[in-house]
Structure 1
Amino acid sequence: MILEKIKTPGLSHLSYLVGADGKAAVVDPRRDCEVYLEKARAEGLEITHILETHRNEDFVSGAPVLAELTGAAVLHGPNADGEVLYAQTTREGDRHKIGSLEIEVLETPGHTFDHVAYVLYDSKYPEGAVGVFTGDALFIGDVGRTDFYPDRKREVSGLLFDSLRKICSLGDQAIVYPAHGAGSVCGSGMADREFSTIGHERRNNPLLQLDDRAAFIDRKVHENHYQPPYFRLMERLNLVGGTPAPRSLRPAPLTLDQLAGCSADRLVDVREPLAYASGHLPSSINLPVDMIPAFAGWFIREGETIALIGSAHDQLEKAMEHLVRIALDNVLGGYVGVVPAAASGKQMQQIPMIDTETVKRRLAEDHADWTLLDVRDADERAENAIEGSQHIYVGELNERWRELDPSRRYTLMCASGMRATIASGWLKSNGVANVEVYLGSMGAWKAAQEED
């Protein structure tokens, strides 16, 4: 038996190639799906099945594209929120042969109504399930979010409780193969490791420790999660089927004049926040490469044209790779050379940085025209907040920037200053010009408190 995990950085998405005796299945493939073909051919395997655990909200499924390339059958669970046009419906108890392996379907609703898990058996070792592909139902150290049906939140939380018990009944020996690892927007308490068993999770996963169904439901309905606008785009594409990824993920190179004349809807500077803050092209926003999967879907809309700005072509390529996986791939090109642009006399903008002492002084003086704006998520703020600060989550500034007074001065803060720089760049591009970043943010504030 061959089982290989394929990790998609940024999204923390985990997909799998599993096979034996010349046949293989792929579980939850990503949009740029040639990687599965390459790995299967290297092992002498033919991909005959493509298994989707559910209609994903955070990335474009590569299932329809991979099916076109291989002729494999795409299998998807029942009760989807619409017809999955490119897939066959598979139901509880169905068994699919992959060489000497067998995949059994468990219906595991809760995260979504169409969610299924795939139980892996090996006929050469008939003692029980070898493992289970749990999708977004069970993670390592966490379980799936249940906030996609706000009018039925107690119902779906109860369904997830029942589904987790069904998965746990497979036996402690079964290895857990989730669809996401730590850093994914699909959970907040995942362990850093990406390996576990049912037995280990049953004993150590905090959510599996809740044996009372009502207590589990109460816990889930009081969680805080955010849904960026691009989730709706992913949901639609993962019903009708997404298009293939662009053949080249390296943006076309732009000169400074071409960048100025390309009329992109969004100029996206993908450099690190401090580099962006020290000097950037007017009207550009900051989405550092590693933060694109988490935040691009808040600030870039479907169909908007994008021009990328970076410090190296490899950086631009990585940025486009992230954008392609969430279907925000209308990239006109990329420009490298912010420093040479400044040296040529191109007008640049900066975002000032202030320190803890300045923040303390302003809070004490109660400046009438100044606001300390905390852009962390609700859970972070509930744990520790600076008295006198206001709160808007960074992603929600995509629309809520209109609530701000452009004549006021805003100091943006988060945990370290990175998300605050993203927020500041967005506000500045929308005419809220008097913005600055609290350098070090809550980390610096806590350090100062300890010194005092």
Structure 2
Amino acid sequence: MFIKQLYTSCLSEAAYYIESDGVAAIVDPLRDIDGYLQLASERNAAIKYIFETHFHADFVSGHLDLQKATGAPIVYGPNTETRFPIHLAKDGESFPLGKATIEVIHTPGHTIESTCYLLRDETGKPHAVFTGDTLFVGEVGRPDLSSGDLGKEELASLLFDSLNNKIAGLPDDVIVYPAHGPGSNCGKNLGPATSSTIGQEKQNNYALQPQTREEFIKAVTADLPAAPTYFPINARINKEGYDSLEKIMETALAPLSVADFKQWMQQDDTIILDTRKAGDFTKQFVPGSISIGLEGRFAEWAGSLLPFDKPIILVTEAGEEKESVIRLARVGFSQIHGYLSGGVEAWQQAGEEIDLIIDVEVDELAMDLPYDDHLVAVDVRREAEFADGHVRGAVNIPLNEMTDPGSMANIEEHQNLYLYCGSGYRSVIAASLMKRQGIHNLRNVLGGFNAIRVQQGIEVVKDSSVLN
């Protein structure tokens, strides 16, 4: 047998290639499928199955494009309803994979259709289980995402049964391959590894410790952060279907001259998305652009901050046009209408206006804080991060809330805004959103709170009421 985890860091997502005796299966594929096809080709194998653990909410799956390319059936577990043909598997159903087999284990809880897939080797011995969002390393899938008419407590109760009756009883040496690793919003606090074993999880995962149903429900439903706003959109796309990535590319990879780019800009609802590194964006950018750099959690922030029904035009680093489009498509964007040919340099050479964001070192913030009565430190991290330590007197406007028109209602024209996040990536996004709304008296603090917390002369405080 051959198993390869194909991990995508910016989404914290793991897809899997499984092969035995020249027959392969893909579990939870991303929308860009070339990697799976290439791997099968290199290994002279044929992809026979596409297994989906559930309707993913954090990315658009590649199941439809992969089915079209290979002819392999799309397999979902019980209680799945789609608008496209699937193989609706029964609980306990087995699929031959060369000399191995894959067994369906219906595990409702994260969603009602959530299903794990148990890989048995040539002797029939359980070897690995692909757990989707049912079981992570050190965590379990959150039960508060949309799944029919069930509430989070009802789903958590189902998850309790799934884990205790179907997963915990597997042999301790069975490898656990989840759909996500650290940083994913599909669970509260995923561990640092991307695989484990049943034995390790029974020992270390709080959700698999001896406890009553009521204790379990309380534990998995407590302190759930707000899910990104694009999750329901992606879940619906995965359930209903979508245009092929190839079709999206035809329009999205159209090079636009400066004149063509300006024509798109004249439409009030057009989004100018700049995917260059944050440090390059602050130096010069097309006025009105939103910065979301490819170097960070690009797809997640794009899905959380950008509208899905508005036209998008791109400014990218040379050679990053296709990568930008693929990452947008992974979370469901399809209204992409080209990129600025020659990038921001071509824009500047054409004599067009350039905007910038002033970057300041953390020692400059330290010097300005005591003497500038109009200085306001704006912390754009999440509430829990802010509570765990922030500049005394700072205002917390979480980046994920900045699309709400009321989020900046208390900002006044005379204020000198110093924006910071954890390391500097999110604060540049925030600065670009503020600039787009006409707020220009701002600065970006380089290094963010990581630099602030070790800088002398800046008082850092915590909010114990939130932490407790």
TM-score, normalising length from structure 2? 0.86
Deviation per residue, 1:400-423 (Å, 9 max, x gap): 455424643333221122101101
Aligned to 1:89: 88
* Structure-2 separation of matches of 1:183 and 1:440: 20
Residue range with higher mean Cα deviation, 110-119 or 186-195:
186-195
Pair 1:425-2:432 in alignment: yes
CA offset at residue 121 of structure 1?
Answer: 0.8
Pair 1:231-2:236 in alignment: no
CA offset at residue 172 of structure 1?
Answer: 0.8
1:357-372 counterparts in 2 under 5 A?
359=365, 367=373, 371-372=376-377
* Structure-2 separation of matches of 1:42 and 1:353: 47
* Structure-2 separation of matches of 1:22 and 1:417: 47
Aligned to 1:253: 255
Kept after mapping to 2: 8 A contact 1:298/1:396: no
Residue range with higher mean Cα deviation, 350-359 or 170-179:
350-359
CA offset at residue 203 of structure 1?
Answer: 2.1
Residue range with higher mean Cα deviation, 205-214 or 23-32:
205-214
1:49-88 counterparts in 2 under 5 A?
49-80=49-80, 83=82, 85-88=84-87
Deviation per residue, 1:346-368 (Å, 9 max, x gap): 3211222345456557665794x
Aligned to 1:133: 130
- Note the aligned Cα RMSD (angstroms): 2.8
- Taking structure 1 as reference, are residues 151 and 389 closer, same or farther at Cα in structure 2, changes over 3 Å only? farther
User: SS of the residue aligned with 2:273?
Assistant: strand
Aligned to 2:443: 436
Kept after mapping to 2: 8 A contact 1:65/1:242: no
CA offset at residue 111 of structure 1?
Answer: 1.4
* Structure-2 separation of matches of 1:151 and 1:434: 47
* Structure-1 separation of matches of 2:127 and 2:273: 45
Deviation per residue, 1:197-232 (Å, 9 max, x gap): 111222233443464543332232223423333222
Pair 1:446-2:453 in alignment: yes
* Structure-1 separation of matches of 2:47 and 2:253: 31
Kept after mapping to 2: 8 A contact 1:62/1:242: no
Pair 1:307-2:309 in alignment: no
Aligned to 2:222: 222
Aligned to 1:382: 387
* Structure-2 separation of matches of 1:5 and 1:74: 19
Kept after mapping to 2: 8 A contact 1:32/1:244: no
- Taking structure 1 as reference, are residues 261 and 218 closer, same or farther at Cα in structure 2, changes over 3 Å only? same
Aligned to 1:108: 107
CA offset at residue 92 of structure 1?
Answer: 1.9
Kept after mapping to 2: 8 A contact 1:421/1:437: yes
User: SS of the residue aligned with 1:75?
Assistant: strand
Residue range with higher mean Cα deviation, 420-429 or 37-46:
37-46
1:136-155 counterparts in 2 under 5 A?
136-149=133-146, 152-155=151-154
* Structure-2 separation of matches of 1:258 and 1:385: 44
Unaligned runs of 5+ in 1: none
Kept after mapping to 1: 8 A contact 2:300/2:331: no
User: SS of the residue aligned with 2:19?
Assistant: strand
User: One-letter code of the match for 2:302?
Assistant: A
Deviation per residue, 1:17-72 (Å, 9 max, x gap): 22323432221122222332332233333322221100000111221222233222
Of the three residues 333, 338, 341, the one matched with 2:344 is 338
Calculate percent identity across the aligned residue pairs. Answer: 32
Of the three residues 295, 304, 327, the one matched with 2:301 is 295
* Structure-1 separation of matches of 2:368 and 2:111: 47
* Structure-1 separation of matches of 2:454 and 2:209: 34
* Structure-1 separation of matches of 2:24 and 2:346: 51
Kept after mapping to 1: 8 A contact 2:276/2:293: yes
- Taking structure 1 as reference, are residues 41 and 356 closer, same or farther at Cα in structure 2, changes over 3 Å only? closer
TM-score, normalising length from structure 1? 0.89
Number of aligned residue pairs: 447
User: One-letter code of the match for 1:305?
Assistant: P
Pair 1:208-2:232 in alignment: no
- Taking structure 1 as reference, are residues 375 and 208 closer, same or farther at Cα in structure 2, changes over 3 Å only? farther
Kept after mapping to 1: 8 A contact 2:29/2:62: yes
Residue range with higher mean Cα deviation, 18-27 or 186-195:
186-195
CA offset at residue 88 of structure 1?
Answer: 2.8
